[in-house]
Amino acid sequence: MKKIKLFLVDDHKMIREGLKSFLAELEDFEIVAEAENGIDCLNQLETVKPDVVLTDLNMPEMDGLELTKNIKEKYPDIKVIALTMLGESQHIKQMLSDGAMGYLLKDCSEEELIKAIKNVYNDGTYYSPEVTNIILNNIRKIKPVTSKVVTEMPLTDREKEVLYLILKEKSNKEIAEDLFVSVRTVDAHKRNLLDKTGSKNVAGLVLYAIDRKLFDDI
C-alpha cells in the first residue's frame, strides 16, 4: 500500500517532534520533510514532493496563509491542511480561500488528525467540528447584500447529489461508487459545480451550500 507522504511545517520544534513521533509509527504515513516557516518549506518543495502539507498559520518569515497561497499556485497537486491554534473566522475563511482542504485545531485528537489527512489525500475535505461551528456562526451574522444582483445558474439534481457527498467529506472515488458513475464523471460534475457557484475550490462549495441552506442535515 502506498504511504501518504507528509511535510510538517511549524515554527515550534516540539510540535514537529510530537507529530513525527506519532505519525511515524503508523504504516499509512511517511514524513518526508519538515520546516520551521513558509520560506523554508517552499525552498524544500523544489526537491521534495509530499502528498500533504500540514502547516501552522502563525510563523515567522512566511506564515501559513502565504505559504498555502504559494503552494496552490506552484504545486496545485499538493494538498494543504491547517493545523493551528488560531480559530478565528477570518483566519479560517482566508485559509480555505487560499486553497487549504482541511482545517484542524491543535487540540484535536490523534484519530481526528488521521481522518483529516486521509480524507484530504483522497480529494476530500476535513474541518474539525469547532471550525465548522465557527464558519456557521459567522455566516449567520452576515446580512445578505441586496445592492448586488447576481444571476445564479441552478444546480441539477445530480450536481446536488455530488455536492451533498462532497460535504459529507467523500473522496471522488467514493462518490463515484455511491452514484454508480465513473471518477471522470464525478470530476466533470465537480468542475460544473465550481463554475456555477463561482467557487475557487471545494472549500468554496462547502461555504456555498451552508450559506444557501441547501441540505437540512449539513
Read off the pLDDT of residues 154-203 as tens digits, 9 standing for 90 and up.
899 999 999 988 888 788 899 999 999 999 999 999 989 988 888 777 77
CA distance 66 to 68: 5
Phi-psi region of 169 (alpha: psi -120 to 50; beta: other; left: phi over 0): left
More confident residue, 210 or 182: 182
- Residue 145 confidence (pLDDT) above 80: no
Average pLDDT, integer, range 134-147: 54
More confident residue, 44 or 210: 44
Average pLDDT, integer, range 20-25: 86
> What is the pTM assigned to this prediction?
0.67
